[in-house]
Amino acid sequence: MNRFFVEPEMIIKNRAIIKGADVNHIRKVLRLSAGDKVTILDGTGSEYLVELIRVTKNEVIGDIIERDEKDIEPLIRIVIGQGIPKGDKMDLIIQKGTELGVSVLVPMKTERVIVKIDSQQGAKKIERWKRIAREAARQSMRTTIPEIPKEIIDLKRFCTLYHGCDLKFILWEEEKEKGLREVLNRDSIPRDIAVIIGPEGGLSIEEIRIAKDFGFIPTGLGSNILRTETVALTILSIIQFKFGNIG
């Protein structure tokens, strides 16, 4: 059955309203009409079986037949601060990161980020990344959409926002003594984990110092040097296997 996300305020009593780009998809691609049924999610964990009653060019309205609270979201909250890579690699990180259960994905402007993004370009990119996360959440049967902040921030701001997480570490290729296995070797399951990942050029000594001041643990991934987009997906897979929904 076709699935669509709506904002929580679009669920009004026993009615659900779909607006935006999904309306055109419903009308012109899926060719749905009154009487057809769809699944609607409000992004907070609630899932609704809805029978369409009106399809117009501006909105789709349906009656809610059933409501269900799905418990298929990640067991822990995983926050990733990602130094923005070149090209469309961020698109891949957001898409696959959503599939792998990331809760918050924060694009960061770090010292060695090559891409030049002004405020206007940043706003457009954020909107694009939100659309990618939304679509990936729909396709991967998630009931919530990962949070992507409204603006690109720097590393210190990320550390300030997420220093309260149960477990927090920063990936650094120069760290040879403390690896990921050691950092994740704990008896209790953390409520939330924050991870900092640099762009292609890695992170500077000053950025490592800043992160350490906020309690982030410098952590290595072994002898192989991974591409930045590979690091994010590797970390998510390992964390989910260790503490979460995989396996």
**Per-residue model confidence as pLDDT tens digits over 48-107:** 999 999 999 899 999 999 888 765 566 789 999 999 999 899 999 999 999 999 999 999
Report pLDDT for 72: 58
CATH superfamily of 77-243: SPOUT methyltransferase, trefoil knot domain (3.40.1280.10)
Q: Residue 207's CB: how many other CB atoms inside 10 A?
A: 23
**Per-residue model confidence as pLDDT tens digits over 117-166:** 877 888 899 999 999 999 999 888 888 899 999 999 999 999 999 999 99
Q: Measuring CA to CA, how many Å separate 79 from each of 26, 93, 147, 177?
A: 33, 13, 9, 24
Helices and strands (H, E) in the chain, number of each type: 7, 12
Of 9-13, 30-34, 135-139, 174-178, which gets the smallest average pLDDT?
174-178
What pTM, to 2 d.p., does this model score?
Answer: 0.84
Instruction: Give the contacts of 22 (CB within 8 A, at least 6 positions apart).
Output: 4, 60
Average pLDDT over residues 211-228: 90
Token pair belonging to 134: 């939304």
Res 220 pLDDT > 60 = yes
Report pLDDT for 144: 87
Q: How far apart are CA 89 and CA 233, in angstroms?
A: 12
Which H or E run contains 46?
strand 46-55
Contact in structure between 219 and 180 (CB atoms under 8 Å): yes
Cα-flanking dihedrals φ and ψ of residue 193, to 5°?
A: -130, 130
Report pLDDT for 221: 87
Q: Measuring CA to CA, how many Å separate 115 from each of 64, 124, 227?
A: 45, 14, 16
More confident residue, 167 or 1: 167
| Helix-helix angle 89-99:119-139, to 10 degrees | 30
* Neighbour-count burial of 166, counting CB atoms closer than 10 A to its CB (0-12 exposed, 13-18 middle, 19+ buried): middle
Q: How far apart are CA 39 and CA 26, in angstroms?
A: 12
More confident residue, 186 or 170: 170
Question: Which one of 1.10.3720.10, 3.10.180.10, 2.60.120.10, 2.40.240.20 gives the CATH number of domain 3-69?
Answer: 2.40.240.20
Contact in structure between 39 and 2 (CB atoms under 8 Å): yes
**Per-residue model confidence as pLDDT tens digits over 195-213:** 999 999 899 999 999 999 9
Report pLDDT for 38: 92
**Per-residue model confidence as pLDDT tens digits over 22-40:** 898 899 899 999 999 999 9
Res 247 pLDDT > 70 = no
pLDDT-derived band at 5, boundaries 50, 70, 90 = confident
Report angle CA 92, 179, 99 to the nearest 5 degrees.
25
Domain locations in the chain? 3-69, 77-243
